[in-house]
Amino acid sequence: MAKRDYYEALGLPRNATEAELKTAYRRLAMKFHPDRNPGDAQAEASFKEIKEAWEVLKDPRKRAAYDQFGHAGLGGEGPGGGGFAGGEAFSDIFGEVFGDIFGSGRRSRSRVYRGADLRYEVELELEQAAFGDTVTISLPLAVECTVCHGSGAKAGSSAVPCRTCGGRGAVRMQQGFFAVEQTCRACHGQGTVIEDPCEACHGEGRVRDTKTLAVKIPAGVDSGDRIRLGGEGEAGPNGGPPGDLYVEIVVKPHTIFERQGADLACEIPVSFASAALGGEVEVPVLGEKTREQLKIPEGTQSGKVFRLRGKGIRPVRGGPQGDLMVHVVVETPVGLNKRQKELLREFESNLRDSKRSHSPREQGWMDKARGFFDRLSS
């Protein structure tokens, strides 16, 4: 009888990932293993089938041949001895597929690890964030030892297999058909030990150092944005690849402008006379040496907002340039002399004698206040 397709046996599509293969095999192995189904010939046959499929598909070379030519592509290699005929115990399945649950599993003899990612916070002036810049940073981190090139071993020597675990990186404790693997305490799970360590790094393969980097800041960044510098993190143990460096942006408060996304906002003080009679004020613009002339209409109230189009910030992720929002603050005169006070009193009296209303907000506010007190008294 023709063999069933390996992917079909595991209940997976042909584009299944390695993790999906392992999960499917683990589930089916637990279900059909003969130790859990004594005397069940059908369960044993099913286990042989999924074991054979797993042995082929977990090997990238064999899987590629099978994907292209099917069962014929395996030639005389076979599935690596698959099936249950070899007498593989349930504990072997448990150790091979489930061992990583307990932090061990079958480890390679020269296990390397990726280095840690690092985070660095850089403070920028608003101008730097808006228009871009290049800043220099210095950060302490673990770098690869230049003497042993990350191996941790003295020149002319190398790591040797751990005698305690036989190079597996783990020791196994078995009870019945369950086996639990624990990380080897002698080699800390590496499978190898360094008997003649490098004097420069004392066998660590890494040394502490300070790295100086020039970081290019793109125009338009804002607080909370991150710049990823691949491979600029800490060196990996045992010569492993370095991690990444994430530069986090913090924009310092500006003396004049406040950023609101792509827009900028600022307050402009305007004299009482200019607000009443109208006039012009100079407005600074970020990044420009010249100032914008803003026309203040007659009767402008405090809190009025004027928009200067295109005078904000162009976002780092694209889009139109923001605007500059100018908030008018009408200043109350202070330090008046006697004559100035007399003129203001005369001016105030003249306004009240006028038949026209010169205080557009006052009447509305008074109406709201009367309604508030009426509700309290009712």
Query: Please, how many CA atoms are within 13 Å of residue 133, restricted to the half-sphere of its CB?
Result: 15
Superfamily of domain 258-330: Urease metallochaperone UreE, N-terminal domain (2.60.260.20)
Count Cβ atoms below 10 Å from residue 10 Cβ, excluding itself.
21
Per-residue pLDDT of the chain (378 residues; tens, 9 = 90+): 567 889 999 999 988 888 888 888 888 988 888 877 888 889 888 989 999 998 889 888 888 888 877 877 676 555 544 333 334 444 445 444 444 444 444 444 456 678 889 999 999 999 999 999 999 999 998 888 889 888 888 888 888 888 888 888 888 776 666 667 788 888 878 788 888 999 899 888 889 989 999 999 999 999 999 999 999 998 887 777 889 999 999 999 999 999 999 999 999 999 999 999 999 999 999 998 888 999 999 999 999 999 999 999 999 988 999 999 999 999 999 999 999 999 999 988 888 887 666 676 666 666 777 777 777 776
Q: Is 71 left (phi over 0), alpha (psi -120 to 50) or beta?
A: alpha
Considering only CA atoms, which of 214, 213, 212, 222 is closest in space to residue 124?
Answer: 222
Distance between CA atoms of 71 and 167, rounded to whole angstroms?
34
Pick the CATH number of 118-251 from 3.40.1350.10, 2.10.230.10, 3.40.50.720, 2.60.40.10: 2.10.230.10
Specify the amino acid at residue 331.
E
CATH superfamily of 6-88: DnaJ domain (1.10.287.110)
Measured distance CA(53)–CA(14) in Å, rounded: 12
CA angle, 197 then 203 then 205, to 5°: 130
Q: Which pTM was predicted?
A: 0.58
Average pLDDT, the chain: 83
Domain locations in the chain as residue ranges: 6-88, 118-251, 258-330, 338-377
Q: Is 118 helix (H, G, I), strand (E, B) or coil?
A: strand
